[in-house]
Structure 1
Amino acid sequence: MRADRHKNKHRRKRKWFVSLLLLFGLIAVYSYSQFQAGLEDSKEEAGEPKVEYSFNGNRDENGYTNILLLGSDARGEENSRADTIMIASYNPDTGTYKLASIMRDTYISIPDHGENKINSAFAFGGPELLRQTIKENFDVDLQYYAIVDFQGFVRLIDTAFPQGVEIEVEKSMSKDIGVTLEPGVQTLDGEHLLGYVRFRQDAVGDFGRVERQQKVVKELGKQLASVQTIPKLPKLIGVVTPYVNTNMDTGDILFMARGFLSEEGRTISTLRLPVENTYQNQRVSGAGAVLTIDLDENKKALNEFLAN
């Protein structure tokens, strides 16, 4: 009798184990098929092949995963400057996500190239030289890089949010962004949202643009973080893959994205460098209008932001 109960218990465990294997198998097949579907949607439009970069990144000594996140609209051009420079940081111990934006006109020392705007480091030596520049000046290690083509941003928005993204446009915008935006709360498709985050032809210039970029990232985080979005994740990654040049593998991206999306209402902390009262607007021969900064204060601000 006892032997029969033991056999029945063993059979039930085996059934549960087989059922779990089948479930994981189905999820894997579904995820792969959705990833491929997204990839096929974008592959032909993405066009030119990606430039291959070397990147000698290191894991942060505190255990954070730091990613050099760059925005560019110059696919296939190795000597283009980075239009957007950010450090995306994930702390696996606390489950926190942070985003630090570095103003592209920040005037600092670039290894073997003297002093120049930080975004010129990308033109001189790709993401690896930019990594070295950030390490030398701010003492922050970067493990990965991701260069996002702006058209990939458009495709991501239109795929994830077919009805558009609700955002408050604070003023009329049209110069040099390819679209016209009027002030007020409105729903924007990918092309118009890209125009919103790229606009800088006003009195505050690049400062306003960085502020809008961080505002949009936070809003997208809120709207993406829902149970409804998680099943879309493999397809979304497939859609943007042809537009993203990165040394991260798909598994790394899925792991961090699922972690973020699994908690509705999760927030992203943000920082802008240079911080207030630590910089001056100047003109430098050969570089034009730059931001000269108090390097020690900004180094301290960035490291404290990532650590706390």
Structure 2
Amino acid sequence: MEEEEYTRRSQRPKKRRLRKGRAIFTLLLLFVIVIAVYSVMQYRSGLQLASDTKVAQEDFSGDQIKGDIENYLLLGIDTRGEEKSRTDTMMVLSWNKATNDVKLVSFMRDIYADIPGYQSYKLNTAYYLDGVQLLKETISNMFGLPIHHYALVDFKNFELLVDILAPNGVEMDVEKDMSEKIGVTLTQGVHHLNGQELLGYARFRQDAEGDFGRVARQQKVIEALKNEILAPQNILNLPKFVGAAQGYITTDYSSAGEIQQVLKMLSKGKVSIEKATVPIEGSYEFQNFSHAGSAIVIDVEKNKEFLHEFLGISLE
């Protein structure tokens, strides 16, 4: 009798532990379900928000991927409701999938370029003439640089994406007062900029640095946005941001493929971005052309050699 009583008592703590374990598991399961439902709802909200604003998909034929490096042509345009526009922002993001190194090369929009099938003109005119594919061919032919994918965003959509990702603003060290021809007024110092202000900061060029200063600011903005995407305080904003990005950003990727590539990059750890600008220092001069105005005439071979070393790839 005493042995039976002892056996019953010895089993009680184990049962309590089992019940406690089930309760914790149930709570964790409910938490996961709530997060999943929230994420799906926010993602769909973002999709709906951007459903009528996407820049039209364009025909694009990327180069064949050889090795571990993929190059993405990143373009920013200001349509202002017009059928055609020039590219104000032209960058190539190069991702080494083996090392997770990311490098960003900005191309000055006033580079005097041979545009296939057209008269030589400023580089940003290629998109105006015949879209992403012609701009891709112009850059590839000029520098021997393979381009595998593209992503295109209209500036108005950029503003909206920033406000979704970072509703409290993106921290930026504004190096001087800025207001001329950017639609906002910015004062020197560290500020949290909303989408419109951040775009104005990136587009400012009314100083002695001109387009070279603007390109440097664009690269600072890319770095700041990368940090906002990885910031813990913005984690709840990411599902809506990703959904909106499907509508606001035009790319040759399918939606699933686009998300998969970003997740691959982020899953490999901390992402740092090494930045450069073409043309490099000492490799260009300004010249005036009757049909193109003031343009940047560059030493193509010097810049090709730089790109080969900087990106670590063979150029054709």
Interval of TM-score (by shorter of Structure 1 and Structure 2):
0.7 to 0.9
Structure 2 counterparts to residues 209-248 of structure 1, below 5 A: 209-227=214-232, 229=234, 232-248=237-253
Measured in 1, the distance between the counterparts of 2:34 and 2:253 equals 25
Q: Tell me which stretches of 4 or more aligned residues in structure 1 moved more than 6 Å.
A: 22-29
Instruction: Report the equivalent of 1:39.
Output: 47
- Report the 3-state secondary structure (helix = DSSP H, G, I; strand = E; otherwise coil) of the residue aligned with 2:179: coil
- Report the 3-state secondary structure (helix = DSSP H, G, I; strand = E; otherwise coil) of the residue aligned with 2:91: strand
Structure 2 counterparts to residues 1-308 of structure 1, below 5 A: 31-44=39-52, 46=53, 50-74=55-79, 77-227=82-232, 229=234, 232-262=237-267, 265-307=270-312
Q: What amino acid does structure 1 have at the position aligned with 2:50? A: S
Q: What amino acid does structure 2 have at the position aligned with 1:188? A: L
Measured in 2, the distance between the counterparts of 1:191 and 1:219 equals 15
Question: Which sits farther off after the overlay, 61-70 or 203-212?
Answer: 61-70
Alignment check: 8 A CA contact 2:114 2:142 kept: yes
How has the CA–CA distance of structure 1 residues 128 and 247 changed in structure 2, closer, same or farther, with 3 Å as cutoff? same
How has the CA–CA distance of structure 1 residues 169 and 226 changed in structure 2, closer, same or farther, with 3 Å as cutoff? closer
Measured in 1, the distance between the counterparts of 2:34 and 2:255 equals 18
- Report the 3-state secondary structure (helix = DSSP H, G, I; strand = E; otherwise coil) of the residue aligned with 2:120: strand
Q: What amino acid does structure 1 have at the position aligned with 2:44? A: Q
Q: What amino acid does structure 2 have at the position aligned with 1:267? A: S
State the TM-score, normalized to the length of structure 1: 0.84
Unaligned runs of 5+ in 2: 1-25
Measured in 2, the distance between the counterparts of 1:28 and 1:274 equals 46
Instruction: Report the equivalent of 2:18.
Output: none
Q: Deviations over 1:9-44 (max 9, x none)?
A: xxxxxxxxxx9xx99999876654332111122335
Alignment check: 8 A CA contact 2:55 2:154 kept: no
- Report the 3-state secondary structure (helix = DSSP H, G, I; strand = E; otherwise coil) of the residue aligned with 1:110: coil
> Which structure: larger Rg?
2
Question: Which sits farther off after the overlay, 235-244 or 90-99?
Answer: 235-244
How has the CA–CA distance of structure 1 residues 236 and 71 changed in structure 2, closer, same or farther, with 3 Å as cutoff? same
How has the CA–CA distance of structure 1 residues 257 and 232 changed in structure 2, closer, same or farther, with 3 Å as cutoff? farther
Unaligned runs of 5+ in 1: 1-18
Measured in 2, the distance between the counterparts of 1:263 and 1:84 equals 28
Alignment check: 8 A CA contact 1:225 1:263 kept: no
The alignment-based identity, stated in percent, is 42
Measured in 1, the distance between the counterparts of 2:192 and 2:198 equals 9
Shift of 1:229: 4.3
How has the CA–CA distance of structure 1 residues 260 and 163 changed in structure 2, closer, same or farther, with 3 Å as cutoff? farther
Give the alignment's Cα RMSD to 1 decimal.
Answer: 2.6
Measured in 1, the distance between the counterparts of 2:270 and 2:152 equals 27
Q: Deviations over 1:112-163 (max 9, x none)?
A: 1132111111111100011111111111111111110112211121111111
Measured in 2, the distance between the counterparts of 1:188 and 1:94 equals 33
Alignment check: 8 A CA contact 2:164 2:237 kept: no
Alignment check: 8 A CA contact 2:55 2:153 kept: no
Measured in 2, the distance between the counterparts of 1:218 and 1:189 equals 16
Alignment check: 8 A CA contact 1:226 1:264 kept: no
Q: What amino acid does structure 1 have at the position aligned with 2:251? A: T
How has the CA–CA distance of structure 1 residues 250 and 118 changed in structure 2, closer, same or farther, with 3 Å as cutoff? same
